[in-house]
Structure 1
C-alpha cells in the first residue's frame, strides 16, 4: 500500500498541470496514467487571448510557452477578401507536445505510475485506488482527470448527462503552399459565407515550420460531406470558401486528416466525499468556441492554489469540503461562460433567423471597420527586425 495526499488519475493536460502545481507546492501526490509519453490526439492546438492569463495563474506559463509557436499577426477573411489584419497572441502547439511539456515540469517529488486504475473507493477520510497490477494507493483525495473515460465514473455512481450530441466537429490537418515558397499570411481566420455550409470557421496558424489548420463544422458524423473532404480536401474547401484559392495563392492539404466530434455533457452526482473532477472529466466544452483550456486552467488553478491547501489543513475529506470547489465563483463563472459561448457560436454560424443574420452582418461590418481603422492609423515606421530570445542558464531559448 502506497500512501499519499493526492492521487491524480489521468495524465492529460488537466492531470499533468495538477501534478506540476502540487509538486511545486510541496504537496505529496501521485499521478497515474498508462502512457509513458502522451500520444498524438486531436484536441486544443493553440492557446491565446483569455487562456494566457488563466495559464499565468498556474505558474507554468513561462516554461510551457517555450514549446509553442507565436503567430504575431492574424488575418481575418470573409467572402474571399481580407477584412482585417490585427496583432495576435496565439501560441500554436500540438496537444501531445503541450501535454508532454507540462509533464516535464512535474518535480521529482511527484511519483508517476504508468499503469491503469481498475478500482476506486471513496469516503470521508481516506480514498482507495487499485492499479492494474493489484497494487493499492491510499490517498486523502482523488483528483479525477481522466477526460472522456467513463468506467471509474460508473464505479463511483457518477452519471453523464448529454446536453448536445455531436455539438461540433473538428478537422485537423496541415496546409502547405502550392507553386510558391510560403503562404502569404502569418495566420488566418476565415469565416463562412453561407449557413448552408454548416461551418463555424477555418483557422490556420503556425506550429514550427508547418501551417496547421483547424476546420470547425456543425454536421452529424454520418454526413457524406466528411467522405468528400477526405477524398478531395482542396476542392471541398474551395467550394465552402469562395476566394480561398486566390487568397492563399494555391494550397494543398498534407498529412493525415483527423476528425473529432465533440459532445457537450455534464457529470451529475459529482458532489461526493473524497473525489473531485476536473476538465473534461467534469464537463466538456465546444472546441469551436475555444474554451476548453480556459476551463482546464481555471479548474486546476482554483483546485491547487485555493482549495487543496485549505482542505489538507484539517482532518477529513467530506462532501462539504468538495462542494467548495464546485461552488467556487471563479469556476462557476468560467463554466457558464464556456457553455454560453458554445451555443452562441453555433447559432451565429448556422441559424437562419432574422436576428442571427443581423448579428452576422453586424459582426462582419464591425471587423471590417476595425481593419480599416488599423490600416489608417498604422504608423509608417519600418518594422523592427525579429528579436532572438535570450538564452536560459541551461542554454535553451528562454
Structure 2
C-alpha cells in the first residue's frame, strides 16, 4: 500500500497542472496516467485573453509559454474583406506540447505512476485506488481529471448526461501559401457569410514555423461533407467561404485533417466524500466557444490555491468539504458562462431567425467599427512621435537654421 494526501487520476492539462501546483506547494501528491509523454490529440491549440491570466495564477505560465508562438495581431474578415486588424495576445501551441510543458514543471516530490487506475473506493476519511497491476494506493483525496473516461465515475455511481450531442465539430490541419513565402496576415479569423455554411469560424494562427488552422462547424458526424473535406479540403474551404481566396491567395492543406466532435455533457451525482472532479470529468465545453481551457484552469486554480490546502488542514474529507468547491462562485460563474457561450455561438452562426440575422449583422458592424478605431489609434502615436518642422524665431524645431 502506498500513501499520499492527494491522488490525481489523469495526466492531461487539468491533472498535470494540479500535480505541478500541489507539488510546488509542498503537498504530498501522486499523479496516475499511462502515458510517459502525453500523445498528440486534437484539443486546445491556442491560449489567449483570460486563459493567460488564469495560467499565470497557477505559477506555470512562464515556462509553459516558452513553447508557444505569439501572433501579436489578428485580422478579422468576412465576405473576403478585412473587418478589423487588432492586437492579439494569442499563443499558438499544440495540446500535447502544452501538457508536456506543464508536466516538466512537476517537482520530483510528486510520484508519477505510469499506469491505469482500475477501481476506486471512497469514504469520509481515506480513499483507496486499485491500479491495473493490482497495486494499491491510499489517499485522503482523489482528484478525477481523466476527461471523457467514465469508467471510474460509473463505479462510484456517477452518471454522464449528454446535454447536446455533437454540439460542434473541430477540424484541425496545417495550411501553407503556394508560390509565396508566407501569408500577408499574421493570424486570421474568418467569419461565415451565411448560415448555410454551418460554420462558427475559421481560425488561422502560427505555431512555430507553420500556420495552423482550426475550422469550427456544426454538422453531424455522419455528414458526407466531412469525408469530402478530407479528400479535397482546399476546394471545400473556398466553397464555404467564397471570399477566402481573396484573403489567402493560393494555398494548400498539409498533414492529416484531424476531426473531433464535441458533445456537451455534465456529470450527475458527483457530490461524494473523498473525490472531486476537475475539467472535462465534471462537464465538457464547446471548442468553438473557446472556453475549455478557461474551465480547466479555473477548476485547478481554485482547487489547488484555495480548497485543497484548507481541506488538508483539518481531519476528514466529507461531502461538506467537497461541496465548497462545486459551489465556489468563480467555478459556478465559469460553468454558466461556458454553457451560455456554446449555445449563443451556435445560434449566432446557423440560426435563420430574424433576430439572429440582425445579431450577425450587428456583430459585423461592431467589429468593423472596432477595426476602424484601432486603425486610427495605431496611426496617432506614430504621427505624435514624428517631429514637426516649423520655423520658430529663425530656427527650425529640429535645431537647424531656417
TM-score (norm 1): 0.95
Q: Deviations over 1:356-375 (max 9, x none)?
A: 11010000011111112222
- Give the secondary-structure state (helix, strand or coil) at the position aligned to 2:357: helix
SS in structure 2 opposite 1:166? strand
| Aligned residue runs from structure 1 range 198-217, under 5 A | 198-217=198-217
Q: How does 1:206-245 map to 2 (within 5 A)?
A: 206-245=206-245
Contact 1:180 1:249 in 2 (8 A): no
Q: Which runs of 5+ in 1 are unaligned?
A: 383-398
Larger Rg: 2
Question: Which residue in the other structure is 1:45 paired with?
Answer: 45
- The corresponding residue for 2:291 is 291
Count of aligned residue pairs for this structure pair:
383
- CA distance in 2 between counterparts of 1:30 and 1:105 reads 14
- 1:146 equivalent in structure 2: 146
Considering only aligned residues, what root-mean-square deviation do their CA atoms show, in Å? 1.1
Q: SS in structure 2 opposite 1:285?
A: coil
* 1:62 aligned residue: 62
2:160 alignment partner in structure 1: 160
> Does 1:318 pair with 2:318?
yes
Displacement, 1:247? Answer: 1.1
CA deviation after TM superposition for structure 1 residue 379, in Å: 2.4
Q: Which residue of 2 aligns with 1:354?
A: 354
1:21 matched to which residue of 2?
21
Distance 1:202 1:239 in 2: 13
Q: CA deviation at 1:376?
A: 2.7
1:276-287 equivalences in 2 (<5 Å): 276-287=276-287
**Aligned twin of 1:71:** 71
Which SS does the other structure have where 1:57 is aligned? Answer: helix
Deviation digits for residues 320-349 of structure 1, max 9, x if unmatched? 100000000010001100000000000000
User: 1:260 matched to which residue of 2?
Assistant: 260
Structure 2 unaligned spans of 5+:
384-402
Q: Distance in 2 between matches of 1:6 and 1:212?
A: 37
Q: CA deviation at 1:52?
A: 1.1
TM (normalized to structure 2)? 0.94
Preserved contact between residue 8 and residue 142 of structure 1 (Cα < 8 Å): yes
- 2: CA distance between counterparts of 1:59 and 1:373? 35
Higher mean C-alpha deviation, range 296-305 or range 57-66: 57-66
Q: CA deviation at 1:62?
A: 1.3
Cα distance in 2 for residues equivalent to 1:355 and 1:185? 33
Moved over 3 A (4+): none
Shift of 1:220: 0.4
Instruction: Give deviations 1:148-172, integer Å, cap 9, x for gaps.
Output: 0011111110001110000000000
CA distance in structure 2 between the aligned counterparts of 1:204 and 1:190, rounded to whole angstroms: 8
Distance in 1 between the 2:284 and 2:370 partners? Answer: 33
Residue 95 of structure 1 corresponds to 95
Match of 2:396 in 1: none
Render the CA deviation track for 1:17-69: whole Å, top value 9, x for unaligned. Answer: 00000000000000000000000000000010111111111111111111100
What is aligned with 2:303?
A: 303
Aligned position for 1:336 = 336
Give the equivalent residue in structure 1 for 2:387. Answer: none
Decide whether the 8 Å contact of 1:116 with 1:131 is kept in 2.
yes
- CA–CA separation in structure 2 for the residues paired with 1:368 and 1:8: 46
Q: Secondary structure at the residue paired with 1:115? A: coil
